[in-house]
Amino acid sequence: MEPAETVNAFITAIEAKDLDTALSLVSDDVEYDNVPIGKVHGPAAIRAVLEPFLAAAREVEWVIERQAAEGHLVFNERRDRFHMRGWVEVAVNGVWEVHDGRITLWRDYFDDASFRRQLAPPP
């Protein structure tokens, strides 16, 4: 698979809440960096971050707005949408590195406050 295909397959698996398939596409030492929050390493750490989110969402849609790939790099501008009580959405620009068919870097840039505001309980 080309790097962009690997990233797209990862995202499709996330939308299906299929973490086993998603994590089969990352390297053992993958870096997962939510820039304003912090980074973790390895598939088990990605699972620990994502599993509660996916479990709390009735539906998950990660919509690709724009995408470019060059060499080992893939960028995707996304709207990551989670159907919780209502839909919450985070506007993300992601940068990925893929080597030998495995994702070695997944780094998302977004505004943390814009996301947390939507997760706050209703007044």
Task: Give contact residues for its own copies (rule: CB under 8 A).
Answer: 35-36, 66-71, 73-75, 77, 91-95, 107, 109-114
**Angle, CA 54 vertex, CA 97 and CA 85 arms, to 5°:** 130
Give me the half-sphere count of Cα atoms (radius 13 Å) on the Cβ side of residue 7.
27
**Given the residues 20, 28, 80, 100, the one annotated as active site:** 80
Q: How far is residue 105's CA from residue 6's CA, in Å, rounded to a whole number?
A: 12
Give the shortest CB-58-to-its own copies separation in angstroms.
Answer: 26
Is 28 a catalytic site residue?
Answer: no
Is 80 a catalytic site residue?
Answer: yes
Pick between residue 53 and residue 109 the one whose CB is nearest to its own copies. 109
